[in-house]
Structure 1
């Protein structure tokens, strides 16, 4: 099934008439075309469609769960949550909409930050680093019983 233009855009926003808008768009990468064809073949069979939905649901849930577990720690927690949404978006419309919403807001946030002065960007970075430091400190303190701040203050007082 061929799409003409972007979904959700009125026909008056599209360039040209009929299929001319497709000529202006870059062709899909070869691996994406193969993946789309493979998924279409799997979906053509009722058993394959159900199996694919179950596989996508489990794989997405696994990635999202790992991402959520890693959010308080420094690292790719949010990236994994968004990747899990991307996996779910292959089969589930609600995940596709949520992923689009997330992309828009992350893009708007980064554009807003880019328009700010260097001082504001440094302040935002500092606030982010303090937040991550506090999360790491609290995670270590309440998960492993290691109070890094108390240990550092004790070290400074004795040396």
Structure 2
């Protein structure tokens, strides 16, 4: 592009987004979606019946997501992620949930920054401790909820073969 035309680009022309044109389009779509959701929620809240119905719906939906997340915490999988997602659902309507979600985000980010700033051996120890914890939780969950004792089964197998 010639030098005199470089400054003449309008918003949304190729080359504006530093990471590529697709990112800018996705951000605009995401912004429009957020605006549409915000407008819809404001319209619902403008009506007293809608406000009560929205609070009930958000409370029930958040409770379902949090309950499923709590049930999945002892198992390997997205238990804590679902609890935090349920908190995000509640944060749409409840101030206490917004504060708790902000508190959680701050502490997760602080923990992540701390863990990633450590040396490789320390991160390996942290990962190993996490894996041992998850393995212990899975073993205890299987043993006490389903009656399956993996450790005893493996020890019996090793003793007989």
The TM-score with structure 1 as length reference comes to 0.82
Whole-angstrom distance in 2 between the partners of 1:43 and 1:63? 23
Corresponding residue number in structure 2 for 1:127: 129
Residue from 37, 40, 52 that aligns with 2:39 = 37
For residue 69 of structure 1, give the secondary structure of its aligned residue in structure 2.
helix
Structure 2: 5+ residue stretches without partners: 1-26
The TM-score with structure 2 as length reference comes to 0.81
Between the two proteins, the alignment pairs up a number of residues equal to 134
For residue 116 of structure 1, give the secondary structure of its aligned residue in structure 2.
coil
Computing the radius of gyration over CA atoms, which structure comes out larger, 1 or 2? 2
For residue 29 of structure 1, give the secondary structure of its aligned residue in structure 2.
helix
Corresponding residue number in structure 2 for 1:58: 60
* Runs of 4+ deviating beyond 2 Å: none
1:29 is displaced (CA, Å) by 1.2
Over aligned residues, Cα RMSD in angstroms?
1.1
Corresponding residue number in structure 2 for 1:78: 80
Structure 1: 5+ residue stretches without partners: 1-25
Corresponding residue number in structure 1 for 2:114: 112
Query: What does the per-residue CA deviation read over 1:116-136, in whole Å, with 9 as the maximum and x for residues that have no partner?
Result: 000000000000000000000
Corresponding residue number in structure 2 for 1:18: none
Query: What does the per-residue CA deviation read over 1:55-102, in whole Å, with 9 as the maximum and x for residues that have no partner?
Result: 000000010011001100000000000000000000000000000000
Corresponding residue number in structure 1 for 2:15: none
